[in-house]
Amino acid sequence: MGYGRARVWTMLAALAGGWVVPAHARGLQAAPRLVLRSASALVLDQLTGEVLVQKQTDTALPIASITKLMTAMVLLDASLDLREPITILEEDKDNLRHSRSRLPVGTTLTRGEALLLALMSSENRAAHALGRTYPAGLAAFVAAMNAKAAALGLAMTRFEDPAGLSGGNVSTARDLARIVDQAFRYPLIRTCTTQEAATVQGRRYPIPFHNTNHLLLSPRWRIGLSKTGYIDESGPCLVMQAELNDRPVVIVLLDANGRDSRFGDANRIRKWMEGEDVPVRTSRVARLRRGRNGG
């Protein structure tokens, strides 16, 4: 039995540790080799839904702070007053992973400021406070997150907390592409996730915050939505909406092999989409063959 062209490209991609799309799918004369260091990856044309890159897209993995996109959508769906002040309490501290925070207990900020810090700077205390101050409380907020996931048809997605600190917050690259596309429909989420820096007034002095995605500083990127994530179980993660080669795309990168590899993978995808040469190092390919299986 013979193999079709797509099947041949699939086999070659598997050997390389990534996924290669045939040249005719992108209008190029030759299909450059694309090797990614993320265990799971997906690139979609946002307008047509065409799959441009895929790698283990249906493997459910912890998603860390990518969770905060769903937190933001549920919060905005509730139409709560973003000008209302909320105070960071002792219970907003991360007692699971003991992650650091620039928001001391007792800091008062508006709900809108908390949303900005949760999305831009991945502030865990801010995200937890948003869930805690939901009208029916934190448990109801998490239930609303899961209800929205179900309404969107995300069968492989579930949430246990609004900040993404729990390893039980899981999804697939395919489900996350849907979340990114939905979140992109909220202008405030687009603005918050792509703002480079902000300062909020603390109890004693102003506190500066910066975006966790340094690709926003690059003139080579046109990013419409961005969110990073990292816990031990998830590895480094990155999701974005961006315009590449005059084409709006959704990029999902999960469990990258190395803390900065998610950004390296994003740049490799950009160069690949724009027809630039994407260098492949033998040692990089070898590391991809270690059989992480998305774990």
**8 domain-assigned:** no
**285 domain-assigned:** no
Determine whether 55 is an active site residue.
Answer: no
Q: What's the CATH code of the domain at 40? A: 3.40.710.10
From 38, 40, 55, 65, active-site residue: 65
From 40, 101, 122, 226, active-site residue: 122
pLDDT of residue 203: 87
Range of the domain at 81: 19-278
pLDDT of residue 259: 82
The whole-angstrom separation of Cα 131 and Cα 161 is: 8
**120 domain-assigned:** yes
Residue 227: band (very low, low, confident or very high) from pLDDT cuts 50, 70, 90: very high
Give the residue carrying structure tokens 């609303």: 144
% the chain with pLDDT above 70: 83
Residue 56: band (very low, low, confident or very high) from pLDDT cuts 50, 70, 90: very high
Report residue 253 as tokens.
Answer: 């990168």
pTM: 0.86
pLDDT of residue 32: 63
pLDDT of residue 2: 36
Q: Give the count of domains, the chain.
A: 1
**210 domain-assigned:** yes
Determine whether 226 is an active site residue.
Answer: no
**Torsion sign over Cα 97, 99, 103, 105:** positive
**241 domain-assigned:** yes
pLDDT of 242 above 90: yes
**294 domain-assigned:** no
From 55, 68, 148, 227, active-site residue: 68
**112 domain-assigned:** yes
The whole-angstrom separation of Cα 171 and Cα 252 is: 11
Determine whether 271 is an active site residue.
Answer: no
Residue 279: band (very low, low, confident or very high) from pLDDT cuts 50, 70, 90: low
pLDDT of 138 above 80: yes
Contact 146, 159 (CB under 8 A): yes
Query: What's the mean pLDDT in 134-140?
Result: 97
**68 domain-assigned:** yes
Residue 275: band (very low, low, confident or very high) from pLDDT cuts 50, 70, 90: confident
Query: What's the mean pLDDT in 19-28?
Result: 41
Query: What's the mean pLDDT in 95-115?
Result: 96
